[in-house]
Amino acid sequence: MDFIKTIEERQKKENTLLYKVGDTVVVHFEIIEGKVKRIQKYEGIVISIKGSGVRKTFTVRKNSYGVGVERVFPVNSPRVIKVELVKTGKVRQSKLYYLRDKIGKDARIKEMLGPKANARIAASRAANKAADVAEEAINAEAKAANATSEPAK
């Protein structure tokens, strides 16, 4: 059992969750298509956080062309480059599954304002500084791969 715990501890990310349920976030997620890596941004509302330790996940919901789309991201995944906090939400529940039934303005969440919210957003930006460097490296690698794969005219 100790062997499993040591492996899990090595896979854990350093930064803690800087976002909570109800927050609007942008998840920068690395996608590999063949030999090319690229970063996809997924913006939405965090509707749930589940699990503990290495298995912790969070679910992000967004509306895409009038259709609700949810995606589950592992917190400690190496594919999740960074999670930007856009807006802080003021909610009183740990799971916001009721948003699935809401449409349009009913699906909005009250925004938390004030120094507490500003401090959380600032902490998120500071934590993502190191991830910005990794994201730029992946983008540069993708541009180089695209330049070599395009035939000359």
The pLDDT assigned to 140 comes to 80
The pLDDT assigned to 95 comes to 94
The pLDDT assigned to 124 comes to 84
The pLDDT assigned to 1 comes to 65
Give CA separation, 142 vs 28, 84, 103, 136, in Å. 15, 22, 37, 10
Write out pLDDT tens, residues 88-130: 999 999 999 999 998 888 888 888 888 888 888 888 888 887 7
User: What is the mean pLDDT for each group of 10 consecutive residues in the chain (153 residues)?
Assistant: 76 76 92 87 94 89 90 90 89 92 87 85 81 76 72 54
**Coarse DSSP helix, strand, coil percentages of the chain, rounded to the nearest 5 percent:** 35, 35, 30
